[in-house]
Amino acid sequence: MNSEKIKTLPKALIKSILMLCLATAVIGVSLGSLAAAYELPLWIPVLLAATVLAGAAEFTFIGMIAAGSSPVTAALAGLVINLRHLAFGCAISGFIASNRLKFIACHIMNDESVLFGLSQQSIELKKAAYWICGIGILFAWPAGVVLGYFLGSSLPYAKALGIDAIFPAVLFALTFKALKRMETRKSAISGALISIAAFPLLPAGLPVLASLLGLYIGRK
């Protein structure tokens, strides 16, 4: 996408994406600080941030490694958490499948870029929002992780500052308008209840997948 096309995008959309990228960097600072507090070498969080690009899986991996788990076990846990990307891929395939950079498009696929993409009206806006958000996070996340690592243990963990609540709050704000529809509200509430009920019964990551049943219930 060239600069001329970017200039034609709604300013509110660009502003929302920039704010989300800033929030992403802040969470990245927390992850880097956590890795430093556990005395992990810098290359571990940096490699995760650049190649995995999935905060929940990275926090889980670093926490498990610090607790003494093997890298293989920690990696498998991250894969389970990221199983939701299967559904993401199906949801966005319509506007990235024909792109010659589709492999890069898959790499920048995350909760936020998918949400921004799917929440737009036209196919052009969907593509633009997805790419701009995805590329923004691609740079913001590792930058935050590196900054956090060097700040080290002097910065309290995300939960101590309430930083971990930024992403849920932003995502809720982005989806709030869609919740005005009865069908969407029914799906969201059903999915949330299913996820909560499944949490003590299923391994980490699977309750989120189970919540997708709410989409089916919402259509009834």
Per residue in 29-56, pLDDT (tens digit) is 888 888 888 888 999 999 999 999 888 7
Q: Is residue 169 part of a domain?
A: no
> Which of 159, 192, 211 is the endpoint of a domain?
159
Q: Are 150 and 111 within one domain?
A: yes
Torsion sign (Cα): 53, 55, 56, 59:
positive
In a domain, 35, yes or no: yes
Number of Cβ within a 10 Å radius of residue 4: 7
Q: Number of structural domains, the chain?
A: 2
pLDDT value of position 43: 93
Same domain, 129 and 184: no
The reply to whether 17 and 118 lie within a common domain is yes
Q: Is residue 139 domain-shared with residue 31, that is, in the same domain?
A: yes
Q: With respect to residue 168, please indicate whether it lies within any of the assigned structural domains.
A: no
Distance CA 42, CA 147 (A): 11
Q: Are residues 15 and 52 in the same domain?
A: yes
What pLDDT, on a 0 to 100 scale, did the predictor assign at position 55? 82
Q: Do 102 and 147 sit in the same domain of this protein?
A: yes
Listed as ranges, residues in the chain with pLDDT below 70 are 1-8, 95, 97-99, 153-175, 177-178, 203-206, 208-209, 212, 215-216, 218-220
Provide the residue range defining the domain that includes 209: 177-220
d(CA 63, CA 205): 15
Does 123 share its domain with 15? Answer: yes
Both 23 and 84 in one domain: the answer is yes
For residues 123 and 216, membership in a common domain is answered with: no
